[in-house]
Amino acid sequence: MADTFYRVHWSDCPEFSADNAWSTLWGADRDDARTGYSCTWDAEDLREYFAEHGEPDDDEIVILFEGRHVGQGFDGEPLAIPTRVVRTMTWAEFEKSL
C-alpha cells in the first residue's frame, strides 16, 4: 500500500514523475541530489514548512500524491517516489482547502 504525500512542485522544476524524483539543498547542484521528492506527510506539515520558509506564490502547484517513502531529505523531511497523482491544486486553492 502506498503512502500519501504533499509537495509544492515549483513551476521551474522538471516534470513531476518518478524519473525526475530527486532532491537537493536549496540552490545546490543536482550532483548533490538524494533520490525522491522532498515532501510532507500531510497538508498541515506543508503549510507549517512554508510558514517558516516563505510561502509560495498563489499560482505555484501543490501535488497530493501516492508514493513510496525512500528516505529523509536534507531538512529531515520525507523523500518519496511518486506512483500516482491524487490531486493537483494551486497554492491558493490549497490554502483555502485547509
Please give the average per-residue pLDDT across 43-63, as a whole number: 95
CA end-to-end span of the chain:
25
Count each helix (H run) and each strand (E run) in the chain, helices first. Answer: 2, 6
Q: Give the SS3 label for residue 56.
A: coil
DSSP 58-83: TTSEEEEEEEEEEEE-TTS-EEEEEE
pLDDT: which is higher, 1 or 7: 7
Write down the pTM of the prediction: 0.91
Query: What pLDDT is attached to residue 1?
Result: 67
Query: What pLDDT is attached to residue 92?
Result: 97
Q: From residue 85, how far is each of 14, 19, 55, 61, 66 by CA, in Å?
A: 16, 14, 22, 12, 6
pLDDT at 31 over 90: no
Query: What pLDDT is attached to residue 24?
Result: 77
- Min mean pLDDT across 3-7, 29-33, 50-54, 93-97 is at 29-33
Max CA distance (Å), the chain: 37
Share of the chain above pLDDT 70, in %: 94
In the predicted model, what is the mean pLDDT of the chain?
A: 92
